[in-house]
Amino acid sequence: MNPQHQPPEVRFLSRSTPPHIVTLVMVTGLSTLAMNIFLPSLPRMTEWFGTEYRVMQLSVSLYLGFSALLQIIIGPISDRFGRRPVLLWSVVLFMIATLGTLIAPTAGTFLVFRMLQAVIAAGMVLSRAIIRDMVPGEQAASMIGYVTMGMSVVPMIGPAIGGALDEAFGWQANFALLVVLGGMVLWLIWADLGETAAGRNARFADQVRHYPELLTSPRFWGYCLAAAFSSGAFFAYLGGAPYVGSEIFHMSSGILGIYFAAPAVGYAFGNFVSGRYSVAIGLNRMILTGTAITAFCMGLLALLDIAGLAGPNVFFGLIVAVGLGNGMALPNANAGMLSVRPELAGTASGLGGAIMIGGGAGLSALAGWALGYGGGALPLTLLMFTSSACAVVAISMVIRRARRLGL
């Protein structure tokens, strides 16, 4: 942590200083794009591989599940060996796995390579840890907010680009684009990302040994659960919205790609609010506000769906609130996780990310399973409402405990 609480000097394309914010945006953006660019293509991919939607939907939940497992070790490894080498190797492995998805002859082989693509989760984990290396506390929440606001254009345009590429060239074009972008990000990391975790030489086993200390912290768990349930609504959306758009609302992949970006519109604004006001308002109140917005709007959507009033414009319009709430809550919840033990920022980021993404994998799979039994979009809507309501409960418990302890 910088003792003067001022960000360290940064020179773009210099390996002797911490990375420029543009680099962090690109690294995080690639992680996000890999998650969602191909989703409008899921119905066509189902036909291509001659399988069922539930099988191809595993490309979301398996990806998230393996991402959660990787995040458990990525954080400690980066605390031990540094952020830079871990990021470089992660992008290389991601590019190899992406090439594998292009040559996969069967759905099973595709899912294996798709799961291996999750190594790019290092970009999401370590961008937060790098920021925490550079600045303290609420400043970290603010900077994370600005970084995620900067890369929020990716989930806005990613599905739209993916849908357009699918209609023009087929679903494989999405993964070909990921290979090209992976090469660009690899060069940018090599040229710009100076090491921010220098001087930390604890063994991997020593880093993992700190897990019980984090896992027995009520504050760490409170922030983790708030992040997990808040993002859980979004991950359920990732798992179920392609089916809702194509099978219930009968959208083409191109149109679905445009509508699919609805949460990103709210996410951009939510991240702006987080970056602008987190220091003044505080982590906990910002998280509570964001989770409450999502829970209220998902409850409203469920009621409209029950009343038969939730067409595609209403459905995707209210989904904007999921992005808005996450944009306000997640940067602050992530900063809260890292503030429990700042010297273990990578470990805390990886462990917290594993809990968050692991829960998301389960909710994504549950959404795909529930929608297969009929009921229109209502099963997805109710799942998103339940998850966001649990996020409100989690952060409320953190606030209550802080007041009881006089913090």
Q: Do the beta carbons of residue 236 and residue 369 sit within 8 Å?
A: no
Is the pLDDT confidence value at 227 over 70? Answer: yes
Q: Do the beta carbons of residue 224 and residue 355 sit within 8 Å?
A: yes
Tell how far CA 210 is from the center of its chain.
24
As a whole number, the mean pLDDT across the chain is 83
Residue scoring higher pLDDT (9 or 20): 20
Question: In this predicted structure, what is the pLDDT of residue 217?
Answer: 83
Tokens standing for 80?
A: 């031990």
Question: In this predicted structure, what is the pLDDT of residue 10?
Answer: 64
What three-state secondary structure class fits 13? coil
Q: What is the pTM of this model?
A: 0.72
Question: In this predicted structure, what is the pLDDT of residue 188?
Answer: 93
Q: Which of 49-58, 204-213, 247-256, 285-294 has the lowest mean pLDDT?
A: 204-213
> Tell me: the pLDDT tens digits for 242-279?
888 888 898 888 888 888 878 888 888 888 888 788 87
> Tell me: the pLDDT tens digits for 58-76?
888 888 888 888 877 887 7
> Tell me: the pLDDT tens digits for 11-20?
677 676 778 7
Question: In this predicted structure, what is the pLDDT of residue 389?
Answer: 96
Class level of CATH domain 21-405: mainly alpha
Q: For 337, what's the count of Cα atoms within 13 Å in the CB-facing half-sphere?
A: 31
What three-state secondary structure class fits 251? coil
- DSSP letters, 35-91, are HHTTGGGHHHHHHHTT--HHHHHHHHHHHHHHHHHHHHHHHHHHHHH-HHHHHHHHH
> Tell me: the pLDDT tens digits for 99-128?
999 999 999 999 999 999 999 988 887 887
Q: Do the beta carbons of residue 93 and residue 185 sit within 8 Å?
A: no
Question: In this predicted structure, what is the pLDDT of residue 205?
Answer: 66
